[in-house]
């Protein structure tokens, strides 16, 4: 409570903090309205970024709604470098990804060379 010379005391506005569980409940309610179905049997999910990193989910919960063209992946995510994941993910890559991987492999030595020149 803050007091001023004239008038009545002003009350501070109470701020209601949202919790993560409340957000999760809202998200689950929205997904339920979309009619998502659980997809079982998925052991890992890898999402490739343009920066050469991979967002890796191990044993995720995957849900899909084909009518809404929506997929959800929930679980613990780790961001890893593509070079860390290379031996194990080669069988997961399609033709487009292999082409992107070749371009990335060509760009890595150039990037390292530029970094070394910058440091020196």
Chain position carrying tokens 């593509």: 82
Residue of 22 and 11 predicted with greater confidence? 22
Q: How would you class 97 by CB atoms within 10 Å of its CB: exposed for 0-12, middle for 13-18, buried for 19 or more?
A: middle
Residue 5 lies in a domain: no
- Per-residue b or e along 46-57, where b marks 16 or more CB atoms closer than 10 Å to that residue's CB: eebeeebbbebb
Cβ neighbour number for residue 36 with a 10 Å cutoff: 20
Cβ neighbour number for residue 82 with a 10 Å cutoff: 19
Residue 9 lies in a domain: no
Mean pLDDT of all residues in 79-86: 80
Contact (Cβ atoms closer than 8 angstroms) between residue 84 and residue 70: no
Residue 106 lies in a domain: yes
Instruction: Give the number of domains in the chain.
Output: 1
Instruction: Report the distance separating Cα 97 and Cα 90, nearest Å.
Output: 9
Residue 1 lies in a domain: no
Structural domain boundaries, residue 33: 20-119
Residue 63 lies in a domain: yes
Residue 6 lies in a domain: no
Query: How is residue 49 written in tokens?
Result: 């970024």
Instruction: Report the distance separating Cα 25 and Cα 31, nearest Å.
Output: 10
Sequence-distant (≥ 6) Cβ neighbours of residue 107 within 8 angstroms: none
Residue 3 lies in a domain: no
4-8, 65-69, 111-115, range with the lowest pLDDT: 111-115
- Average pLDDT of the chain to the nearest whole number: 78
CATH number of the domain to which 24 belongs: 2.20.70.30
């Amino acid at each position: 409570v803050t007091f001023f010379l004239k008038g009545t005391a002003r009350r501070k506005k109470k701020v209601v903090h949202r919790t993560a569980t409340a957000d999760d409940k809202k998200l689950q309610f929205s997904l339920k309205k979309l009619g998502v179905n659980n997809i079982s049997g998925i052991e890992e999910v890898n999402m490739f970024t343009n920066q050469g990193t991979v967002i890796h989910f191990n044993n995720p919960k995957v849900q899909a709604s084909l009518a809404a063209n929506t997929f959800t992946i929930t679980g613990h995510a780790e961001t890893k470098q593509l070079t860390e994941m290379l031996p194990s993910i080669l069988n997961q890559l399609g033709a487009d990804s292999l082409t992107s991987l070749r371009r990335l492999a060509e760009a890595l030595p150039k990037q390292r060379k530029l970094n070394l020149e910058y440091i020196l």
